[in-house]
Amino acid sequence: KSLRIFAPATVANLSCGFDVLGCCLDTVGDEMVVSLTPDPEVTITKIEGANLPLESHKNVAGVATKALLKKYNKEVGVNIEIYKNIKAGSGIGSSAASSAGAVWAVNRLLNSPFTNHELISFAMEGEKLASGNAHADNVAPALLGGFTLVRSYEPLDVIKLHTPEDLMVTVIHPQIEVKTSDSRSVIKHRVSLKKAIQQWGNVGGFIAGLYTNNYQLIGRSLEDVIIEPLRSILIPEFDAVKETALSKGALGCGISGSGPSIFALSKGEKTANLVAEAIRDVYSKTGLEFDIHVSKIN
């Protein structure tokens, strides 16, 4: 029994929602082939497009699969092949795609003993291996689709949110690697009450905007007064890209996950493409290599 799947890229944080908000991209992602095997082992026999470990205990897909099988508690073997399009350290959920993709496929092959919500905690084990922290803001949207909110980590409580139909995301991925663990180390662990108030006001506003299809409210809630000022210095031309995206009509713009990718949300495909072209111009001048994607959220 074997399954070939698309493992989607995701944008985490969405500015105001550090470690709690994320969304799933429709067109950007990896492919994986996952098979049940007679030997009760987890093996990874092929990885194309990235230099990642084949040893299953060192690979996020392997670790997430093992977490699932431990809970399943029956002797099952799994083989995984990974065809990466999402680069490691890109900020669009590369490790989450592999972790979430693996557990989703294994669950299907076993006739779905777990719900997609239950799969999140297994996939989080992959995130823990990748970044030292078991955050769920990439694996949750990869598994549930659309926008998700991690309402609580202990106990884990993840909510799938409403997606306004015309919302589009533009992502620019400069081809430099920013490790999530490094980009987490620049964050301060103390936050002033003033900034906390601004941030949770924005999270509430963002979610209210999603549910009322209020694009302007979504836009003005896409503000991060806590993390972005510290992390944006790691990203070449961040301020210029943000200013350009907003000037072309993007609702909001910020760091995708832990960077270096930058995302912008727009209403409608036309604006999302305009934003893509404008930020392409900004980045072309840097001499850096980059990719740009325009995607629906699904």
Q: Which residues make up the interface to ligand HSE (CB under 6 A)?
A: 12-13, 18-19, 93, 135, 137-138, 180, 184, 257-258
Residue 206 beta carbon to ligand HSE: minimum distance, rounded to whole angstroms:
15
Residue nearest to ligand HSE (CB): 257
User: Which of 65, 170, 180, 271 is an active site residue?
Assistant: 180
- Nearest approach in angstroms of CB 77 to ligand HSE is 30
Which CB, 215 or 259, lies closer to ligand HSE? 259
* Known catalytic residue at 180: yes
Instruction: Tell me the closest approach of the beta carbon of residue 132 to ligand HSE, in angstroms.
Output: 10
Q: SS3 for the chain, per residue?
A: CEEEEEEEEEEECCCCCCCCEEEEEEEEEEEEEEEEECCCCEEEEEEECCCCCCCHHHCHHHHHHHHHHHHHCCCCEEEEEEECCCCCCCCCCHHHHHHHHHHHHHHHHCCCCCCHHHHHHHHHHHHHHHHCCCCCCCHHHHHHCCEEEEEECCCCEEEEECCCCCEEEEEEEECCCCCHHHHHHCCCCCCCHHHHHHHHHHHHHHHHHHHCCCHHHHHHHCCCCCCHHHHHHHCCCHHHHHHHHHHCCCCEEEECCCCCCEEEEEECHHHHHHHHHHHHHHHHCCCCCEEEEEEEEC
Task: State in angstroms the smallest separation of the CB of 9 from ligand HSE.
Answer: 11
Q: What single-letter amino acid sits at 258?
A: S
- To the query of whether residue 148 is one of the catalytic residues in this protein, the response is no
Both tokens of 187, joined, read 């964050």
Nearer to ligand HSE (CB atom), residue 137 or residue 237: 137
- Of 110 and 161, the one with the shorter C-beta distance to ligand HSE is 161
Considering the complex, what minimum distance in angstroms separates the CB of residue 12 from ligand HSE? 4
Spatial separation of the C-alpha atoms in residues 122 and 223, rounded to whole Å? 31
Q: What CA–CA distance (Å, rounded) separates 27 from 292? A: 12
Report in angstroms how near the CB of residue 26 gets to ligand HSE at its nearest.
19
- From the list 81, 125, 127, 237, the catalytic residue is 127
CB nearer ligand HSE, residue 122 or residue 215: 122
Q: What is the largest CA-CA distance in the chain?
A: 58
If DSSP codes are grouped into helix, strand and coil, which group holds residue 127?
Answer: helix
Q: Which is nearer to ligand HSE, 9 or 106 (CB)?
A: 9
Among residues 79 and 94, whose Cβ is nearest to ligand HSE? Answer: 94
Q: Which residues pair with 91 in a beta bridge?
A: none
Rg of the Cα atoms in the chain: 19
Active site residue ranges: 127, 180
